[in-house]
Each structure stands twice: as C-alpha cells, then as structure tokens.
C-alpha cells in the first residue's frame, strides 16, 4: 500500500497565506487558503491505490480539517518537528515504518496541480527512490520516497529560492541517479502568482471549450 500526504496548516485568520496579505485582507487570504486546501484534497481524492492523509499543523483539531476528512475519507495526522524539514522527515518515517511502500507529500499551494503529476510520481518510485516536483520559485510542490527517508531535510533555508538546490545537494552522491524530477509547476504565494493562476484557468477553460 502507498500513501499520499497533504501538508497543511490550520486555516486561522492571519496565520495563512501571509505573503498575500500584503495585497489582500486577512479574511480574503484565509478564504483563498481554504479554497486551495479544498481543491488540493479534491485532486488527491482522485488518485487511486493509496491511503490519503492530511498532515495537520499544529495539530488535527481544527474543525475544517475534520470536515474535509469526513467528506473525502481522509485520515488526519499531526505534524511533528521544529521546522518543515523535521516535520516532513517525521511524516515519511512514520508512514514507512507503518509498512507503506511509497509515500508522497504535497502541499496545498498548488491548487491547479495536475493529478497526472502525482500518478507519475508513484510510477517513478517503481525504479527510483526519490521523486521531486520542482516549483518555479525554487522550492518543490511534491516530494516522494520509497524504502526510507533520505538525509535531505536538515539545514535547509525553508521558504527561499534555494530550497530545491540545497535539498539535492544534501543527497549522497552515490544516490543521485536514484532521483526522478517531475515537470515544473507553480505555487501561489504572492499576488502575482494569484494573477497568473487566474490567467491560467481562463486559458484552460478556453482550450476546453474549443475541443
């Protein structure tokens, strides 16, 4: 059995999508975050042959988490660790120790992420031990492992344009050939990202209407 984990913060006003709050009210930013999380869960729900999990920060007690779990049949777990790296490593270790063969983590900042990229990530882990989906801002929107979590989550400057580069540098040289990179995709962190998402959706809808 495989596992797909969505990493999410509790939707608390003023605590989520903080970079968007430079241009939007805290109320609007919160609404967008909840929409992004809902859309991410909707995408993940369609992925077959895996256990679906929301890893909740700071814990799984927020009513919105419980609503999503009940509606979509997801399991809730708490994130453990001082920073994002520790929390991801902890989640990987917990699920792998529980007997899951392949474990993939995605965030909820890429609400337009194609389901196919998640499917391809699971397929890639048939032959590779690490799969990464690079994001256009220098981080990654997906990371997945098989067997054991590699030592790539410490001493990373999270939230910077160097996250992916620093992560891959942590990978032992002899294991570099076991990495599979998915196509680039984009996160929604700034007002410019949000405007791009709107344009992207309009183009996709126009393309669908023509077919």
CATH for 192? 3.90.550.10
Task: Reply yes or no on whether the pLDDT at 211 is more than 60.
Answer: no
Task: Reply yes or no on whether the pLDDT at 208 is more than 70.
Answer: no
Task: Reply yes or no on whether the pLDDT at 204 is more than 80.
Answer: no
State mean pLDDT over 160-176.
92
pLDDT exceeding 70 applies to what percent of the chain? 97
Q: Which residue has the tokens 């032992």?
A: 172
Half-sphere exposure of 11 (CA within 13 A, CB side): 19
CA–CA distance, 162 with 26 (Å, rounded to integer): 28
Q: Which residue has the tokens 């929409």?
A: 35
Task: Reply yes or no on whether the pLDDT at 207 is more than 90.
Answer: no
**Between 206 and 138, the higher pLDDT residue:** 138
pLDDT for res 202: 87
Task: Reply yes or no on whether the pLDDT at 126 is more than 90.
Answer: yes
Task: Reply yes or no on whether the pLDDT at 34 is more than 60.
Answer: yes
Task: Reply yes or no on whether the pLDDT at 176 is more than 90.
Answer: no
Task: Reply yes or no on whether the pLDDT at 164 is more than 60.
Answer: yes
pLDDT for res 152: 95
The predicted model scores a pTM of 0.95
The domain total for the chain is 1
pLDDT for res 205: 76
- What tens digit of pLDDT does each residue of 83-119 get? 999 999 999 999 999 999 999 999 999 999 999 999 9
pLDDT for res 203: 83
CA–CA distance, 143 with 127 (Å, rounded to integer): 15
Contact 32, 108 (CB under 8 A): no
pLDDT for res 174: 80
Q: Which residues of 102-116 are buried (b: 16+ CB within 10 A; e: fewer)?
A: bbbbbbbbbbbbeee
Spatial strand order of the sheet with 102-106 comes to 75-78, 50-57, 2-9, 102-106, 140-146, 130-134, 179-181
Range of the domain at 145: 2-210
Confidence of residue 13 (pLDDT cuts 50, 70, 90): very high
3-class state of residue 120 by DSSP: helix
């Amino acid at each position: 059995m495989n596992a797909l984990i969505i990493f999410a913060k509790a939707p608390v006003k003023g605590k989520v999508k903080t970079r968007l709050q430079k241009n939007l009210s805290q109320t609007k930013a919160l609404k967008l975050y909840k929409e992004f999380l809902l859309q991410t869960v909707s995408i993940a729900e369609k992925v077959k042959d895996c256990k679906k999990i929301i890893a909740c920060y700071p814990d799984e007690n927020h009513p919105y988490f419980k609503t999503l779990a009940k509606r979509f049949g997801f399991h809730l777990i708490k994130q453990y660790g001082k920073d994002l790296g520790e929390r991801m490593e902890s989640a990987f270790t917990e699920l792998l120790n529980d007997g899951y063969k392949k474990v993939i983590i995605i965030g909820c900042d890429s609400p337009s992420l194609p389901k196919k990229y998640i499917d391809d990530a699971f397929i890639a882990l048939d032959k590779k031990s690490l799969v990464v989906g690079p994001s256009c801002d220098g981080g990654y929107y997906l990371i997945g492992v098989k067997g054991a979590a590699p030592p790539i989550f410490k001493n990373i400057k999270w939230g910077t344009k160097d996250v992916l580069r620093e992560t891959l540098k942590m990978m032992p040289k002899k294991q570099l050939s076991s990495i599979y990179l998915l196509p680039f995709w984009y996160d929604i962190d700034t007002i410019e990202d949000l405007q791009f998402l709107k344009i992207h959706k309009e183009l996709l809808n126009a393309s669908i209407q023509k077919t």
